[in-house]
């Protein structure tokens, strides 16, 4: 269907088996990297143009160079497999189909930054995938790729899985650190940044699973090779996730910048029942939604999505057909943020509850015309006023859905029964009942 050869989810049966992985050139990148100087490895990653796949698109090579090369304290790497952003289900595909490429990338990252201990944080619900990855880790230990003197070198690295227990916020990098330390997953103030003060106060780097899985091919084929895949400003392939009203949902690895219409119609088999598209979430529930009429010619990478005021996030695409009730969808998404807010910042903790209550009454035919302004106001008061980016993640879907689908909100409000309110302040303080 496409002449692109996947670099992570390769079409090789049983690639999850370590012998098959080795037979297909696996763990050679690790040996190659171990023969390079750590700075050279970082330079290669910088040259590749690889950006983080966890949502923020931060250049990976640059992130690695923030780690002090010399440190009296131990240094740590955390691989982020929390994958709890609604509509994201790509990292689990790596655990299942090609776990060794992720492990190999993690080991190379450790060598590049002088790290001897790495933790893989995996959401607690991924029990099956934790088992699969643990098996792969055990096999890699047995073959001498992890543990003492990895790949026959003088370098030693240990790799452990840390199982989460159901908290979206633990995907935020500093919350993740607290969770590994055995605490509640509350985000920390930044600065200090993890590269100087991370796990137990030691230099720490956090990378997404897919980011790390991209490292072995970069070392194998060089940074320049990678930089030529997909869009120059967002090089490489992306693991696009298709879900919602789509005929062939699933994960598709394709070059960054693949046309959204190709993803939906060529790969995803089109919209179910051949309906028109009303709304699309381009990269996980936090990303500003798009209207069906904005997708023609739209390339899926961070730079191009900015032109329609959105971002690539986790590349989890949700397709919604013409019958979709936008207010209901946004209400459900807001309920998620209300449920998952860690509660440290007032604007986030209270604001999510307010937005949910307002959306709930609009959806239930009890909205007031001024509710739309009020919603925007609450969202604006959350955005940018919180410790972590969760606040923005909660505010964006509401703010942008109103901007892009105003008639849908207005329609529901105008059809509402206007119930006289005697005491406005008091009415807003009624706690939302789940």
Question: Which spans of this chain sit near ligand FMN (rule: CB under 6 A)?
Answer: 52-56, 58, 63, 80, 82-85, 169, 171-173, 206-208, 211, 388-390, 393
Contacting other proteins within 57-76 (CB under 8 A): 74
The distance of closest approach from Cβ of residue 393 to ligand SF4 in the complex, given in angstroms and rounded to an integer, is 8
Of 53, 52, 106, 51, the C-alpha closest to 77 is 106
* Helix, coil or strand: residue 258: strand
Q: Which does 363 bind (CB under 5 to 8 A by kind): other proteins, ligand SF4, ligand FMN, none?
A: none
Q: Which does 188 bind (CB under 5 to 8 A by kind): ligand SF4, ligand FMN, other proteins, none?
A: none
393 contacts: CB under 8 Å, gap ≥ 6: 85, 285, 286, 337
Task: List the helix and strand counts (H, then E) for the chain.
Answer: 19, 11
Report if residue 99 touches ligand SF4, rule: CB under 6 A.
no
Beta carbon nearer to other proteins, 58 or 127:
127
Q: Which does 391 bind (CB under 5 to 8 A by kind): ligand SF4, other proteins, ligand FMN, none?
A: ligand SF4
Contacting other proteins within 37-56 (CB under 8 A): none
Beta carbon nearer to other proteins, 46 or 412:
412
The distance of closest approach from Cβ of residue 184 to other proteins in the complex, given in angstroms and rounded to an integer, is 4
Q: Which does 86 bind (CB under 5 to 8 A by kind): other proteins, ligand SF4, ligand FMN, none?
A: other proteins
Measured between alpha carbons, how far is residue 163 from residues 172, 246, 279, 305 in Å?
A: 15, 32, 35, 33
Q: In which residue are the tokens 């980016």 written? A: 389
Instruction: Supply the angle between the helices 326-340 and 346-363 in degrees, to the nearest 10.
Output: 150
Report if residue 326 touches ligand SF4, rule: CB under 6 A.
no
Give the whole-angstrom CA distance, residue 279 versus residue 405: 9
Stretch that binds ligand SF4, among 21-29, 124-132, 310-318, 337-345 (CB under 6 A): 337-345
Report if residue 92 touches other proteins, rule: CB under 8 A.
yes
Q: In what order do the strands lie in the sheet with 204-208?
A: 158-163, 117-122, 76-81, 204-208
Beta carbon nearer to ligand FMN, 191 or 297:
191
Give the whole-angstrom CA distance, residue 417 versus residue 366: 6
Structure tokens at 152: 């026959």
The distance of closest approach from Cβ of residue 343 to ligand FMN in the complex, given in angstroms and rounded to an integer, is 13
First to last CA, the chain: 46
Stretch that binds ligand SF4, among 91-99, 124-132, 343-351, 371-379 (CB under 6 A): 343-351
Q: In which residue are the tokens 């879900």 written? A: 243
* Helix, coil or strand: residue 51: strand
Cis peptide, bond prior to residue 294, ω within 30 of zero: no
Beta carbon nearer to other proteins, 61 or 316:
316
- Asked whether 206 and 215 are in contact (CB, 8 A), the reply is no
Q: Which residues bind ligand SF4 (CB under 6 A)?
A: 169, 187, 341-345, 348-349, 386-388, 390-391
Q: Which residues bind other proteins (CB under 8 A)?
A: 74, 83-89, 91-92, 119, 123-128, 158, 160, 162-168, 179-185, 200, 241-245, 249-251, 281, 285, 316, 318, 320, 324, 329, 332-333, 336, 339-340
């Amino acid at each position: 269907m496409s002449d692109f050869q996947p670099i992570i989810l390769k079409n090789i049966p049983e690639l999850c088996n370590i012998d098959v992985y080795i037979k297909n050139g696996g763990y050679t990148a690790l040996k190659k990297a171990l023969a390079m100087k750590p700075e050279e490895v970082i330079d290669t990653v910088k040259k590749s143009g690889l950006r983080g796949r966890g949502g923020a698109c931060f250049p990976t090579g640059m992130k690695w160079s923030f780690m002090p090369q010399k440190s009296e304290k131990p240094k740590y790497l955390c691989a982020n497999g929390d994958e709890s952003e609604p509509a994201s289900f790509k990292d689990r595909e790596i655990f299942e189909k090609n776990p060794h490429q992720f492990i190999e990338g993690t080991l190379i990252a450790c060598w590049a930054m002088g790290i001897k201990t790495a933790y893989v944080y995996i959401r607690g619900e991924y029990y099956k995938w934790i088992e699969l990855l643990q098996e792969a880790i055990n096999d890699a230990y047995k073959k001498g790729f992890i543990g003492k003197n990895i790949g026959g070198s003088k370098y030693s690295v240990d790799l452990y899985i840390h199982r989460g227990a159901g908290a979206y916020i633990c995907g935020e990098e500093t919350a993740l650190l607290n969770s590994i330390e055995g605490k509640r997953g509350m985000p920390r103030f930044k600065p200090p940044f993890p590269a100087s003060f991370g796990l137990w106060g030691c230099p720490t780097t956090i990378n997404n699973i897919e980011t790390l899985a991209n490292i072995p091919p970069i070392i194998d084929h060089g940074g320049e090779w990678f930089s030529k895949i997909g869009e120059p400003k967002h090089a490489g392939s992306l693991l696009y996730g298709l879900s919602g009203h789509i005929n062939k949902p699933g994960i598709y690895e394709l070059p960054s910048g693949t046309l959204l219409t190709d993803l939906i119609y060529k790969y995803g088999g089109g919209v179910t029942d051949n309906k028109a598209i009303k709304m699309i979430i381009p990269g996980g529930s936090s990303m500003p939604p798009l209207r069906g009429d904005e997708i023609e010619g739209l390339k899926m990478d961070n730079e191009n999505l900015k032109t329609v005021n959105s971002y690539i996030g986790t590349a989890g695409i949700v397709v919604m057909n013409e019958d979709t009730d936008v207010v209901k969808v946004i209400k459900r998404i807001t309920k998620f943020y209300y449920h998952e807010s860690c509660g440290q910042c007032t604007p986030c903790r209270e604001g999510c509850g307010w937005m949910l209550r307002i959306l709930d009454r609009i959806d239930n035919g009890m909205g007031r015309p001024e509710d739309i302004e009020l919603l925007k106001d609450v969202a604006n008061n959350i955005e940018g006023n919180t410790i972590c980016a969760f606040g923005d993640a909660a505010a964006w879907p509401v703010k942008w859905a109103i901007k892009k689908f105003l008639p849908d909100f207005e329609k529901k409000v105008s059809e509402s029964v206007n119930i006289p309110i005697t005491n406005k302040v008091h009415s807003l303080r009624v706690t939302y009942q789940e």
